[in-house]
Structure 1
Amino acid sequence: MHTTISLIPLQDDDREQFIRDNQDAFNYGAMEEFDLHDNHIEKGGEIISQATIEESIDNGIAYRIMMDGHPVGGLILKIEGDHGELEILFVSPHAHSKGIGYAAWCAVEKLYPQVKVWQTVTPYFEKRNIHFYVNRCGFHIVEFYNDHHPDPHDNDASQDEQFPDGMFRFEKHIP
C-alpha cells in the first residue's frame, strides 16, 4: 500500500496539540501491551512526559506528519553531519496500519540524504515499533539497554527507572 504524506515543520501554535497527540499515541501502545498503566509512566501519568517531548522539540527538528491536509502523527529528529537520530516518531492510533509511519520515514531519508547512519531507541515491550524499525525500515538492533547494560547517554537515568526491563537501540546504515 502506498500512502502519500507530507512532513510539515512544527508550528508554534500546534506545539501543545503535537505534545498531546504524541502522549496519546505512546499511551495507546502501553495500554495495548499492558492493559493498564503501570510503572512505565513518567511523572504526570504519561508514558512520555510533556517535559521530555518539549526538550526533544527544543533541541531537535520537529515535523507534523500530514495526510490529506490533516495531522496524523509527528516526528522529531536530531541531525549532526552524517549522523541522524530519530528521537520520536508517532502515528495517531486511529491512523495505524495505513503505511503512514513508513511513508514518513521514507520522506525523512529523502529530506536528509547526507545522513549515513540513523539511530533510534524503543522500549522492549513495543513489539509494533520493533517490527516497524527492523522489518519495514531496515534498522538493525545493535544494543539492548537494561540493568546490566545501562544507556551511557542517559544522564539522569530516567529511562532506566521508567523502563527497567530495557530499551532496544537501533541503527540503520545508508550506503
Structure 2
Amino acid sequence: MPEKHIVALEPLAPPDFSLFVKALQEAFSVTPREKFGNPDLVPSENDIRASFQTDGAQAFHILLNGERAGGAVVVIDEKTQRNSPDLFFISPGYHGKNAGLAAWKTFEARYPDTVIWETVTPLFQGAQHAFLREQMRFSYRGMFQPPPCRPERPHGESASPLDTFFRFEKIMK
C-alpha cells in the first residue's frame, strides 16, 4: 500500500543554496553511478545557479512529513502559463515511496492556472521517463541535442548520447 505523505513547499532561502545544490547533485547522481559508474554526470553548480536566475524561477525545498526530502526550481510564466519543473528531485532515501508523485501533485495544486507543464530530461534517465509518463501523466514530445559548441566540449567534437534529451509535456487545460 502506498505511503501517505504530508507535503509542504518551503521557499528556498539564499543561505540554503549550497545545501540545495549538494542534495540535488546527490539525487541526480544515482542513475549515472548505476549505469556508467560515473556519478559526475549531474547539473553543475553553474547550471543550477542559471536555473535559479531564469525569469519566473521559484525555488523550494520539498518537505515530506516535516522533513526535507527534495527540492525543485519551477519556472512560472504568468503570461502564457506554459510552466516548467526546471529542476525537480527527491532525495535517494525517499525514492520508491511515492514521494515524487505526492510532491508533484502539490506543485500542480499550487499553480492551478498552468495550461501546460513542459520539461526535458537526459536520454539515460530511463526511470525518470517512466515516472514522467506513467505517474505524472506527461506525454513524450520529442528528442533533441543541444548545440554542438559548448565550453565543456572541444570545438568540433560531436555530441554523445549523454547529450541527448527527451522533451515532455502535460496539458492541464
The alignment's TM-score, normalised by the length of structure 2, stands at 0.85
Q: Which stretches of structure 1, 4 residues or longer, exceed 2 Å deviation after superposition?
A: 154-165
Q: 2:170 maps to which residue? A: 172
Aligned letter for 2:93?
H
Q: Distance in 1 between matches of 2:52 and 2:133?
A: 25
Q: Cα 1:165–1:12, aligned 2, differ >3 Å: closer, same or farther?
A: closer
Q: 1:88 maps to which residue? A: 87
Q: 1:49 maps to which residue? A: 44
Q: 2:18 maps to which residue? A: 16
State, as a whole percentage, how many aligned pairs show the same letter: 28
SS of residue in 2 equivalent to 1:80: coil
Structure 1 contact 3–98 (Cα < 8 Å) conserved: no
Q: 2:114 maps to which residue? A: 115
Aligned letter for 2:22?
R
Deviation, structure 1 residue 165: 5.4
SS of residue in 2 equivalent to 1:71: strand
Of 38, 53, 77 in structure 1, the residue corresponding to residue 74 of structure 2 is 77
Q: Distance in 1 between matches of 2:163 and 2:41?
A: 18
Deviation track 1:23-75 (CA, whole Å, cap 9, x = no partner) reads: 111111211222x11xxx7xxx4511001011112221111001232211001
Q: Cα 1:58–1:173, aligned 2, differ >3 Å: closer, same or farther?
A: same
Q: 1:6 maps to which residue? A: 8
Q: Distance in 2 between matches of 1:88 and 1:123?
A: 12
Q: Distance in 2 between matches of 1:161 and 1:9?
A: 36
Aligned-residue Cα RMSD (Å) equals 2.4
Deviation, structure 1 residue 163: 5.0
Q: 2:139 maps to which residue? A: 140
Deviation, structure 1 residue 156: 4.9
Q: Distance in 2 between matches of 1:158 and 1:78?
A: 25
Q: Distance in 1 between matches of 2:160 and 2:45?
A: 15
SS of residue in 1 equivalent to 2:18: helix
Q: 1:100 maps to which residue? A: 99
The alignment's TM-score, normalised by the length of structure 1, stands at 0.84
Aligned letter for 1:107?
T
Deviation track 1:105-147 (CA, whole Å, cap 9, x = no partner) reads: 10111100111100011111111101110000010000111xx
- Structure 1 spans left out of the alignment, 5+ residues: none
Q: Cα 1:165–1:51, aligned 2, differ >3 Å: closer, same or farther?
A: closer
Q: Distance in 1 between matches of 2:15 and 2:104?
A: 24
Q: Distance in 2 between matches of 1:157 and 1:141?
A: 29
Instruction: Compare relative contact order (CA 8 Å, sep 6+) and give the higher one, 1 or 2.
Output: 1
Q: What is the number of residues matched between the two proteins? A: 163
